[in-house]
Amino acid sequence: MILQPFHSSDISKNILVIDDSKLNRAIVKNTLSAYNINVFEAADGLEGLNALKSKQFDLILVDIVMPNLDGFGFLEQFKQYIGDEFIPVILMTGLDDLNSKIKGLTIGADDFLLKPLNQKELVARVQSLLRLKSAHDELYEKNQLIQKELEYAKRLQQFIIPKDFSFVPYPSISGRYLPIADIGGDLFDCYKISDSKVGALIADVTGHGIPAALVMSMAKMIFSIYAYGILNTQELMIKINEEMRGLLLDMQYITAFYMLIDVEKNTVSFTNAGHTRPLFYRKSSDKIIALDTNGLFLGIQDESLYEQKTIHFEHGDRCILYTDGITEIKDENKEEFGEQRLAKFLKQHNEKPEDFCEHLLQALDHFSPLHDRKDDIAFMYIDFS
């Protein structure tokens, strides 16, 4: 077998060889210099660690048996010097000892070479790990780019999901959105259609991450286009289904609930497309009403039927629109928070919308730590006081 020079990059590679034998260091240097590789030397583990402070290396060869600090000791401190950077390490040993190999691999070595060194094997193993290093670095750079793009997408999503509802003078509205990833598929929105009419939407796209976030953004845009012109919630949902049907991937769908509040007639008209039922608290009777209608998820079929229902609201009533990430969150006993707990919370907390939202998050976190949740959380609270 004829070994060819290493050509993964036009940039020469830097290798550190740590060995108390000057002869072995010379063999490594003379062998690898022909392959566009710069070889730097250290006589023991301490010198090797010091070299890491002043130079970046693509690969390290380290002997096991050395004075001052041996190869195992070097490996144990190695990660403290390089942090999250990936630098492959080859352990060199004169003993074909299985336990030594296991120990070396356990504490961070990537490969082994037996001494006396075979030059062909040395070159082959070095080239293999340098290719691995190059592939790792390329993936790392691409991952960093993806993370930057995700951060941009996160900021964009945070921008398009409203935080300030002060543009609606009545009723008082607030909301919260907590995706499990940087971006997610839950959505709520609010539309001041006229001085007397306000629209409120909550929706949930199947899945998480980028695909769900893209669909969520499209859904928000389409709802925003038609909500101001179609003032019947049933007809609006039919139109949204028509528009979304051709945009969704296979197995994707959207659950959605939309309500139209008329502050002159004191009415709430609503249509549900397979979403979790919003809860409406009637103060005068101290009762909870679950708002629901017949209707399939959006995007499931070309012609879906929906219905509109209407109720009256009174001073002091309040309502919560939410996604199933709230009711389906589970405690350590696998018990769900559930609709009944949420209804009880709604009845017991007559407070300003911002306070209600914060206290609900606290209650959820007390029930089950939110950092362990498995789904996005979104909700919008509407106070008719």
The pLDDT value given to residue 341 = 95
Q: Which helix (H) or strand (E) holds 141?
A: helix 119-160
First vs last C-alpha separation in the chain:
85
Over the stretch 28-42, which tens digit does the pLDDT of each residue have? 999 998 888 999 999
b/e sequence 337-356, b meaning 16+ C-beta within 10 Å: bebebbbebbeebeeebeeb
The pLDDT value given to residue 4 = 44
**Is residue 259 within 8 Å of 268, Cβ to Cβ?**
yes
Which residues belong to CATH 3.60.40.10 in the chain?
161-383
Per-residue CA distances from 292 to 16, 43, 272, 277 (Å) = 69, 76, 6, 6
**290: phi > 0 → left, psi -120 to 50 → alpha, else beta; which?**
beta
CB neighbour class for 129 (10 Å; exposed up to 12, middle 13-18, buried from 19): buried
Q: Is 80 exceeded by the pLDDT of residue 251?
A: no
Considering the domain 161-383, what is its CATH architecture?
4-Layer Sandwich (3.60)
Task: Give the pLDDT mean for 290-312.
Answer: 91
Spatial distance between the Cα atoms of 189 and 203, rounded to a whole number of angstroms: 9
Spatial distance between the Cα atoms of 58 and 61, rounded to a whole number of angstroms: 10
Q: Are strands 377-383 and 172-178 parallel, antiparallel or unpaired?
A: antiparallel
Q: Is 50 exceeded by the pLDDT of residue 262?
A: yes
Sheet holding 254-262, edge to edge: 186-192, 197-205, 254-262, 267-273, 309-312
pTM of the model: 0.68
Q: Which distant-in-sequence residues (6+ apart) come within 8 Å of 193 by Cβ?
A: 199, 227, 228, 231, 260
Which residues belong to CATH 3.40.50.2300 in the chain?
13-144
pLDDT band at 157 (very low <50, low <70, confident <90, very high): low
Considering the domain 13-144, what is its CATH architecture?
3-Layer(aba) Sandwich (3.40)
**DSSP designation for 198:** E
Size of the chain in residues: 385
Sheet holding 111-114, edge to edge: 37-42, 13-18, 59-63, 89-93, 111-114
Spatial distance between the Cα atoms of 57 and 82, rounded to a whole number of angstroms: 10
Over the stretch 367-381, which tens digit does the pLDDT of each residue have? 999 888 888 889 999
Over the stretch 55-87, which tens digit does the pLDDT of each residue have? 999 999 999 889 999 988 998 898 888 877 899
Task: Give the pLDDT mean for 155-167.
Answer: 77
pLDDT band at 215 (very low <50, low <70, confident <90, very high): confident
Alpha helices in 17-118 (DSSP H): 22-32, 45-54, 71-82, 98-106
The pLDDT value given to residue 152 = 66
**Is residue 17 within 8 Å of 28, Cβ to Cβ?**
yes
pLDDT cut 90: percent of the chain above it? 58
Three-state DSSP class for residue 195? coil
Spatial distance between the Cα atoms of 369 and 330, rounded to a whole number of angstroms: 9
